[in-house]
Chains A and B, each alone.
Chain A
Amino acid sequence: SQQGEEDPQALSIQEGENATMNCSYKTSINNLQWYRQNSGRGLVHLILIRSNEREKHSGRLRVTLDTSKKSSSLLITASRAADTASYFCATVSMNSGYSTLTFGKGTMLLVSP
């Protein structure tokens, strides 16, 4: 079953605008990760935030984590057409001593020139 649920399912913005995607999850986690998938391609790891962290930055990406609300957000600042892709959150939880990564259904982001 999906652990993370992204919101919105689809987002359309203009170049230069900021894009915010949200993720909610259900159970306790070790960390939460965000991935990008361009059409027809494999997933690319963007950023990982641990359960004891509240905010993390990487270039134009800003991720927040609120473990009390079991939610995370991904902010892409000054979006570019090349940011057009699907974005997935994924959570790491412990499973019989080994951690597994569980994905949400993703947010499709369209950035128009």
Chain B
Amino acid sequence: NAGVTQTPKFQVLKTGQSMTLQCAQDMNHEYMSWYRQDPGMGLRLIHYSVGAGITDQGEVPNGYNVSRSTTEDFPLRLLSAAPSQTSVYFCASSSGSTSGRYFGPGTRLTVL
């Protein structure tokens, strides 16, 4: 099993550009989530999904969109990138919402 995979590993954007961060898992997990990690702030929840077709907002959802069309994939879309979105983004999955999470390796995003 590959576990949780994320692409790309690194990305540089200009302010106003849009992009999609990809996340996939091969463990047939229903629950998937996106976090951002900033220095001194720990991890903060952006969006999560409890199954295909069901998503909800986390603590810091503004500027991000998600959809869940399959169990395996949970992409995160930045609509119009801003410097405040410079961060490391982690995708995670689990068998249930109360279970331990499996994390991907992260995407380091810089917005100029």
> Bound complex: CA of A101 vs CA of B92, how far in Å?
11
Interface residues, chain A, with chain B CB atoms under 8 Å away: 1-2, 30-31, 33, 35, 41-45, 48, 88, 90, 92, 96, 98-106
- Residue contact A102 to B45, C-beta cutoff 8 Å: yes
Q: Contact residue range for chain B?
A: 20 to 34
Interface of A is mostly: strand
- Residue contact A42 to B103, C-beta cutoff 8 Å: yes
Q: Give 20 A-B pairs besides A43-B90, A100-B97, A103-B35 with Cβ atoms closer than 8 angstroms.
A: A1-B59, A2-B41, A35-B101, A42-B4, A42-B105, A42-B106, A43-B92, A43-B101, A44-B103, A45-B100, A45-B102, A48-B100, A88-B42, A90-B43, A96-B56, A98-B48, A100-B33, A100-B45, A100-B48, A102-B45
> Bound complex: CA of A44 vs CA of B9, how far in Å?
18
- Residue contact B40 to A31, C-beta cutoff 8 Å: no
Residues of chain A lying within 8 A (CB to CB) of residue B58: 100
Rounded to whole Å, the gap between the CB of B57 and the closest CB of chain A is: 10
- Residue contact B48 to A105, C-beta cutoff 8 Å: no
- Residue contact A92 to B105, C-beta cutoff 8 Å: no
